[in-house]
Amino acid sequence: MTTTTTQPSTHTLETEGATLAYDIRPTSETSAPILLLIGSPMGASGFGTLARHFADRTVVTYDPRGVERSTKRDPSSPSTPEEHADDLHRLIRALDAGPVDLFASSGGAVNALALVAKHPDDVRTLVAHEPPLASIVPDREGALAVSRAVHETYLRSGFGAGMAHFIAVVSHRGPMTAEFAAQPAPDPAMFGMPAEDDGSRTDALLGQNMISSTHYEPDFDALRAASTRIVIAAGEESDGELAHRAAEAAAERLGSAAVAFPGGHGGFLGGEYGQTGEPDAFAAKLREVLDQPAE
């Protein structure tokens, strides 16, 4: 059968305190579940390359609350994994197509774990790629302190300073300590970030999700009992980074091992946001994992 795709259609969905924008890429194939691709705070625009590798499936992408086209009534307030999970539950219900397959990366993986813990019937297979769960790594206290330090830099000095601090933290390899958390934030110019503060404090990464996502503690009892097949993924090139180490810790808590995926934290990117990973190899690995039968 020849597989055909059409241009994505864009829709909106009202949820508690937010309006979500989502895109559907339909296909002539009907046998496989919908494939939902999510990040946080990365929106739908980060998954264009990956979606094109799955033209034989209906692919859905969305912008999380407070990100790009999706709005929230109070953009200065935190967004929690529980809120994101409720948004995803409502989105899956709106699709009305039974349990979906879900690829979730970074903060999206945190939110997906929250979804499956509460609504396991929504998801057939979850591939949770590098959830930045500072709460579960062996150096938990230091990792949590570092996450708070980044957020505090943003609140004190604005986007450029906060993002420079964030970049320095996420590229750090190895355990995090209180001494590392106490180090001054780097000069924004080192990372090409603006030094001036525009006064806004509504950034989805540094303001809305930084603390709630990294500090979230998944309900591993519920996840182990879930009907959903859960695969935790870690980048081959991100060994030692917080999100990679958190993926390994999450897999261990679930009684499995993290599955290696090509590239690093953004291994699926094909030029989105100026970043290019290994999208062809990453998509092939994702297809392989999704096609594996449930045990």
Band (pLDDT 50/70/90 cuts) for residue 6 is: low
Over residues 139-195, the pLDDT tens digits come to 999 999 999 999 999 999 999 999 999 999 999 999 999 999 999 999 999 999 999
pLDDT surpasses 80 at 5? no
Examine residue 132 and say whether the peptide bond preceding it is cis (omega within 30 degrees of 0).
no
Report the C-alpha gap between 143 and 133 in whole angstroms. Answer: 9
Note the pLDDT of residue 97.
84
Residue that terminates a domain, selected from 210, 230, 246: 210
On whether both 56 and 99 belong to a single domain, the answer is yes
User: What percentage of the chain carries pLDDT values higher than 70?
Assistant: 97
4 within a domain of the structure (yes/no):
no
Residue where the block lists tokens 């690829």: 103
How many structural domains comprise the chain? 2
Q: Can you read off the two tokens belonging to residue 262?
A: 């090509």
Q: Does 227 fall in a domain?
A: yes
Same domain, residue pair 17 and 110: yes
| pLDDT tens per residue, range 196-223 | 999 999 999 999 999 999 999 999 999 9
Residue that is last in its domain, among 165, 193, 210: 210
Mean pLDDT rounded to a whole number for the chain: 95
User: Do 61 and 164 fall into the same domain?
Assistant: no
Q: What are phi and psi of 22, to 5 degrees?
A: -140, 155
Is residue 167 domain-shared with residue 122, that is, in the same domain? no
Domain boundary among 179, 194, 210: 210
- Provide the residue range defining the domain that includes 148: 140-210
Output the pLDDT for position 4: 47
**Segment 224-241 mean pLDDT:** 98
What does the pLDDT read at residue 31? 79
Do 44 and 181 belong to one domain? no
Q: What is the pLDDT of residue 142?
A: 98
* pLDDT above 50 (res 3): no
Are 160 and 109 in the same domain? no
Q: What is the pLDDT of residues 35-66, one digit of tens each?
A: 999 999 999 999 999 999 999 999 999 999 99
Write the CATH number for 270: 3.40.50.1820
State residue 294's pLDDT score.
Answer: 66
CA distance 231 to 253: 12
Model confidence at 30: pLDDT above 90: no
